[in-house]
Amino acid sequence: MKKEFKDCLETIKQLVDSNPEDLLLKICSILKEQIYHYDWVGFYILQNGQLVLGPYVGKPTEHTHIAIGKGVCGQVAQRGETMIVQDVTQIDNYISCGLEVQSEIVVPVMKNGKFIAELDIDSHSPAPFISDDQIFLEGVCKLISDKF
């Protein structure tokens, strides 16, 4: 894993271990500040059978509620698997959060084998995500799964 991801993961581990208030928002801020191609970072939390926007950092979004199966976020909630989209224009049911968004990665937060939330990251860069992004972000989601 790239050094920037390892360093960022260490910072997040320390936060999780100290159990601060506003943990999810702090994680969003760290990810956006430390990883150059993370332009919008937020959590969607499963509530009453739909995804509800939780803490996030970046441009405000009108997508505060997303149906399971709709868009990239809804598909990740349905499948419980990470989804990387290097070119959002190639996804049929993509929910656009702005013209500047070119790619997206969404990682599920699983607890006891069940989907409970997800980490959604938009990038204004074309095709920036590599396997290290997935490994790193899945590690972050695993770290915080007990906080839900």
The pLDDT of residue 99 is: 72
Give this prediction's pTM: 0.94
Express each pLDDT in 118-137 by its tens digit.
Answer: 999 999 999 999 999 999 99
The pLDDT of residue 91 is: 79
- Which letter, b or e, does each residue of 19-55 get, where b requires 16 or more Cβ atoms within 10 Å of its Cβ? eeeebbbbbbebbbeebebbbbbbbbbbeeeebebbb
The pLDDT of residue 17 is: 82
**3-147: what fold?**
Beta-Lactamase (3.30.450)
As a whole number, mean pLDDT of residues 10-31 equals 90
As a whole number, mean pLDDT of residues 105-126 equals 96
Express each pLDDT in 32-91 by its tens digit.
Answer: 999 999 999 999 999 999 999 999 999 999 999 999 999 999 999 999 999 999 998 887
